[in-house]
């Protein structure tokens, strides 16, 4: 495109923008409707909205320790059923007797509470 065409297009755009600006009213919208700024309603006071506490989709729990040391054996859990509790208690006592015999004989260490045995 040559320079003369650019000048003509620029001049046409300038004339169009001046004619559009001439059509705009020179007074404010309020004066056109017969109002003053004092007659405008007061702005609404902003309500203080407390942020909602978002619930996490994930259940975060503390990290399990890598190694736990126990000083003694754990008693069997109580289920509430007398026959099951009695059978578990008998198994636990039998295991403790075997454990004590193995300790006296210098044998293998066993655990009576289904955990990984820790050598004394």
Measure the CA–CA gap between 73 and 100, rounded to whole angstroms. Answer: 12
What local confidence, expressed as pLDDT, does residue 100 receive? 84
Q: How many CB atoms lie within 10 A of CB 73?
A: 14
Q: How many CB atoms lie within 10 A of CB 96?
A: 13
Q: How many CB atoms lie within 10 A of CB 95?
A: 16
Q: Which residues contact 40 (CB under 8 A, 6 or more apart)?
A: 30
What local confidence, expressed as pLDDT, does residue 120 receive? 46
- Map out the domains of the chain as residue ranges: 3-36
Overall pTM surpassing 0.85 (yes/no)? no
- Residue whose C-alpha is closest to residue 117's, from 68, 53, 50: 68
Residues of the chain with pLDDT under 70: 1, 25-27, 67-74, 113-120
Measure the CA–CA gap between 100 and 94, rounded to whole angstroms. Answer: 10
What local confidence, expressed as pLDDT, does residue 9 receive? 92
């Amino acid at each position: 495109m040559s320079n003369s065409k650019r000048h003509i297009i620029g001049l046409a755009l300038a004339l169009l923008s001046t004619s559009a600006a001439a059509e705009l009213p020179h007074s404010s919208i309020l004066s056109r409707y017969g109002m003053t700024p004092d007659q405008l309603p007061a702005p609404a006071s902003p309500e203080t909205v407390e942020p909602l506490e978002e619930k996490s989709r994930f259940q975060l729990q503390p990290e399990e320790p890598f190694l736990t040391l126990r000083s003694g054996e754990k008693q069997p859990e109580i289920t509430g059923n007398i026959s099951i509790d009695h059978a578990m208690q008998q198994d636990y006592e039998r295991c403790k007797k075997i454990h004590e015999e193995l300790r006296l004989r210098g044998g293998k260490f066993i655990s009576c509470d289904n955990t990984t045995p820790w050598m004394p």
